[in-house]
Structure 1
Amino acid sequence: MLFLFPTNKPTLSNVSACSNGDHFSIIFVMSFNFILICKVKNYYMIELNYNLVVMKMFKFLLFPFGVLYFLVTSIRNKFYDFNLFKSFSYKVPLIGIGNLSSGGTGKTPMVEYLIRNFSKKYNTVLISRGYKRSTNGYVRANNKSNPSSIGDEPFQIFNKFKNINTVVDSNRVRGVSNILTEEPSTELVVLDDCFQHRQINLKLNILLTTYNSPFYNDFIIPIGNLREKRKGYKRADVLIVTKCPDLISKDEMDSIRKKINLYDYQNLFFTKIKYDNNLKGDMKLNLDKIEKSIILVTGIAKSEPVISFLNKSSIDFEHISFSDHFNYSQNDIDKIEKDHNKLIVTTEKDFQKIQLLNRKNKWVYLEIKIKFLENEPLFNSLVKQAIIS
């Protein structure tokens, strides 16, 4: 739903840029959390909180679609539970990372954590879908790969970790089978975003959910963000509450633990996002050395953590927000740089695409990692046990 009103001057303090040439074009983004503000010549779309406005207005209309989606996903899962649909197993340990929601839970930092901590000892392969890539089928990353051919997140990991093999394939069974044929010495396969891929059996199934939007408070698509019913969490061996605040208390952790209602075979962990103060990209720069106002450019599902980090670091910035996995064009970069002659900070994922375009300004990115708030040795021991057993 669009709310448009004519105006000659911007009356909103924070306009999310969706540039396309000389004018801004409508990009209607409904992630079931928010709607971006977009300029259309002399019109502006009001930013609305989806949960407070759109959900209340359209919950009745969307409910039948939610029921239908619920039935389809539930029947599919039951077919796998009763072995009516076949699942494939492999001798090589497969560790999967996924979520019940539609995105933004921090899967890529978790994938990088596993690779960083285990790929030096075990020959590791990453298999991802390669979201929004221009290619189809099975593709193995090589020196000619780019964000378009394999997806921005796999490209980021491929560039970052030269000691692993990176593969993209929406068919995880085909992807695993092909890479094990090509690389028989593989000792560990990490599968990104595979919680709903029941066709493949995992040695360790890791489910992520965010602190601010836990799955037990969410609803199934299209009413909410869940890809399947909440009870799907029972398939997880490990659950991780991601993007926690620094000062989360033990009592609050216990409260979350009770709300999830863990099974005896499950373990729960809590992590937070940790940004590196040492910026990389077109130049190396410590965040503490920034004294002038900067531009923050993001094209990710949830920008709140990076915004919060810059605010806590007392950085003066203007934020230009694009939709998740945004495919930047040269016009986008030219428009940003034409309007802003400043240092531009972006995310590591966004920089993978932006670095391939011509730039006049200096662009740097914030590297992101995760930090366990407790019991990190236990988590690593569970991963190691899954690999060697």
Structure 2
Amino acid sequence: MRTEGDFIKIREWLLPLSWLYGLGVWIRSLLFKIGILKSRAFDIPIISVGNITVGGSGKTPHVEYLVKLLKEDMKVAVLSRGYKRKSRGYVLADAQTPMPRIGDESYQMKEKFTDVYVAVDRKRTRGICRLMEDKDTDDVDVIFLDDAFQHRYVKPGINILLVDYHRLIIYDKLLPAGCLREPQKGKERADIVIVTKCPKDLRPMEYRVLTKAMQLYPYQSLYFTSLEYSPMRQLFGEEERDVDSLKTDEQVLLLTGIASPKQLLHDLQIHTCNIQQMFYADHHQFTAKDVRHINQHFAAIPQPKLIITTEKDAARLKYTKGLSDEVKQHLFVLPVHIRFMHGQEEFNNKIISYVQKNSRNSILVKAKDDHKSQNGHYPGNRTGTISFRNNR
């Protein structure tokens, strides 16, 4: 079994540069603290999901979990930076918006949740204003900020910090020696901390050790999640397969361009040891040379075989030209979702309660009016009760 922090590699010779980087981060934090740089609050529920580590900690599946939790009863919007997109300014996605215009993660989100507003803007304050004020989106009830823990210009109502179990911030160092974007003290801004990608067999003693090691304040809540996988589906076809269906003699090419593919590799190795790897940098844009390499590499693998990739990579591969017919026929996408290891109902209630108490949602007004009409003695200063669907 893998242990906490086992993916961390400290480059000791770069520690002097980490000190200089840390000085810059400290100055920026001071400017916010004394008010030279200002954080702006908005009169709409805003929930930020992010991390203080470079690379993947599971932001997208956690945002997707939150979207599923609220979207049946609220008009939900997801606002991100749109990393590596081929556009500028504010862009609101629709069903026809191509991936290069909004980035792979936003494209994945819009493709999965067609009834949710998905927008990108490097300036999050401007993006929030557009979502709240534009005629097409002014009925929005709650906004999720994707990867915005360092974006201090917005003051969210709930700040969720994700910490990878295999890259715990308590063992890491600042860039460039380690992978921290800011000192671990930055976790103090979080209202909720989630340790992600936990082993499914984590023991009660390990929960207690991790809880103590994180050194959170009483106002902060700590949760633990693990990754689970839905059936694989063909990117260029209709076939579906369970991961459990992988045969012992089946050759798998794991093709990814994500920040942290090691957990995925480890999980697949439970099902088969015949895995070859083609790992690219996070958000990698596949070039003609890459495509030739992928085609040639896969052609050389003996049958039976298939390619497995992630949903984020699929968003880019879908727009990649030159993939061979053989590659397209055998290319499967492996969707991932999260599972709370305990405290799921508490977490859900915390999110729902915050949104319910702070929402501009017309459902709130309607619920109160309906209750008044049914009860003539209804006291005007009492909060109405809303039934939210609990998507767990």
**TM-score, normalised relative to structure 1:** 0.82
Residue 232 (structure 2) pairs with residue 274 (structure 1): no
Secondary structure at the aligned position of 1:209 is classed as strand
Residue 365 (structure 2) pairs with residue 365 (structure 1): no
2:182 corresponding residue in structure 1:
228
1:285 corresponds, among 232, 240, 250, to: 240
Range moving further from structure 2, 73-82 or 302-311: 73-82
8 Å CA contact 2:95–2:114 kept in 1: the answer is no
2:286 corresponding residue in structure 1:
328
1:353 corresponding residue in structure 2:
316
Secondary structure at the aligned position of 2:228 is classed as strand
What letter corresponds to residue 67 of structure 1 in structure 2?
W
Secondary structure at the aligned position of 2:286 is classed as coil
1:98 corresponding residue in structure 2:
50
1:76 corresponds, among 20, 24, 28, to: 28
Query: Cα deviation per residue 1:260-290 (whole Å; 9 max; x = unaligned)?
Result: 1111110000001111234342332323444
What letter corresponds to residue 56 of structure 2 in structure 1?
G
Secondary structure at the aligned position of 2:162 is classed as strand
Q: Give me the whole-angstrom Cα distance separating, in 2, the residues matched to 1:132 and 1:317.
A: 29
1:379 corresponding residue in structure 2:
347
Deviation at 1:129, TM superposition (A): 0.7
Q: Give me the whole-angstrom Cα distance separating, in 1, the residues matched to 2:244 and 2:194.
A: 31
Deviation at 1:76, TM superposition (A): 1.9
1:160 corresponds, among 101, 109, 112, to: 112
2:254 corresponds, among 267, 272, 296, to: 296
Secondary structure at the aligned position of 1:373 is classed as strand
1:89 corresponds, among 41, 45, 49, to: 41
What letter corresponds to residue 240 of structure 2 in structure 1?
L
Residue 19 (structure 2) pairs with residue 67 (structure 1): yes
Deviation at 1:77, TM superposition (A): 1.6
Q: Give me the whole-angstrom Cα distance separating, in 2, the residues matched to 1:140 and 1:212.
A: 35
2:207 corresponding residue in structure 1:
253
Q: Give me the whole-angstrom Cα distance separating, in 2, the residues matched to 1:198 and 1:274.
A: 32
Q: Give me the whole-angstrom Cα distance separating, in 1, the residues matched to 2:167 and 2:144.
A: 25
Deviation at 1:315, TM superposition (A): 5.6
Q: Give me the whole-angstrom Cα distance separating, in 2, the residues matched to 1:258 and 1:309.
A: 27
2:386 corresponding residue in structure 1:
none
1:239 corresponding residue in structure 2:
193
Deviation at 1:78, TM superposition (A): 2.4
Larger relative contact order, structure 1 or 2 (CA cutoff 8 Å, min sep 6): 2
Deviation at 1:356, TM superposition (A): 2.2
What letter corresponds to residue 229 of structure 1 in structure 2?
P
1:388 corresponds, among 339, 356, 374, to: 356
Q: Give me the whole-angstrom Cα distance separating, in 2, the residues matched to 1:169 and 1:324.
A: 20
1:39 corresponding residue in structure 2:
none
Within 5 Å, which residues of 2 pair with 1:142-181?
Answer: 142-181=94-133
RMSD of Structure 2 on Structure 1 (CA) = 1.8
Q: Give me the whole-angstrom Cα distance separating, in 1, the residues matched to 2:192 and 2:245.
A: 40
Query: Cα deviation per residue 1:191-213 (whole Å; 9 max; x = unaligned)?
Result: 00111111111111000011111
Within 5 Å, which residues of 2 pair with 1:4-83?
Answer: 51=10, 55-56=11-12, 58-59=13-14, 62-63=15-16, 65-83=17-35
Q: Give me the whole-angstrom Cα distance separating, in 1, the residues matched to 2:231 and 2:99.
A: 25
8 Å CA contact 1:277–1:288 kept in 2: the answer is no
8 Å CA contact 2:223–2:340 kept in 1: the answer is yes
Query: Cα deviation per residue 1:155-176 (whole Å; 9 max; x = unaligned)?
Result: 1001110011111111110110
Q: Give me the whole-angstrom Cα distance separating, in 2, the residues matched to 1:323 and 1:303.
A: 10
8 Å CA contact 1:129–1:170 kept in 2: the answer is yes
Residue 343 (structure 2) pairs with residue 343 (structure 1): no
Runs of 4+ more than 6 Å apart: none
2:59 corresponds, among 107, 117, 122, to: 107
Deviation at 1:248, TM superposition (A): 0.9
8 Å CA contact 2:246–2:272 kept in 1: the answer is no
2:382 corresponding residue in structure 1:
none
8 Å CA contact 1:101–1:215 kept in 2: the answer is yes
Deviation at 1:119, TM superposition (A): 1.3
Q: Give me the whole-angstrom Cα distance separating, in 1, the residues matched to 2:180 and 2:354.
A: 28
Q: Give me the whole-angstrom Cα distance separating, in 1, the residues matched to 2:269 and 2:348.
A: 32
Residue 169 (structure 2) pairs with residue 201 (structure 1): no
Q: Give me the whole-angstrom Cα distance separating, in 2, the residues matched to 1:117 and 1:246.
A: 22
8 Å CA contact 2:232–2:332 kept in 1: the answer is no
Secondary structure at the aligned position of 1:215 is classed as coil
1:212 corresponds, among 163, 166, 176, to: 166
Number of aligned pairs? 336
What letter corresponds to residue 351 of structure 1 in structure 2?
A
8 Å CA contact 2:9–2:178 kept in 1: the answer is no
2:364 corresponding residue in structure 1:
none
Residue 146 (structure 2) pairs with residue 192 (structure 1): yes
**CA gap 1:280/1:384 in 2 versus in 1, 3 angstroms:** farther
**TM-score, normalised relative to structure 2:** 0.81
Secondary structure at the aligned position of 2:41 is classed as coil
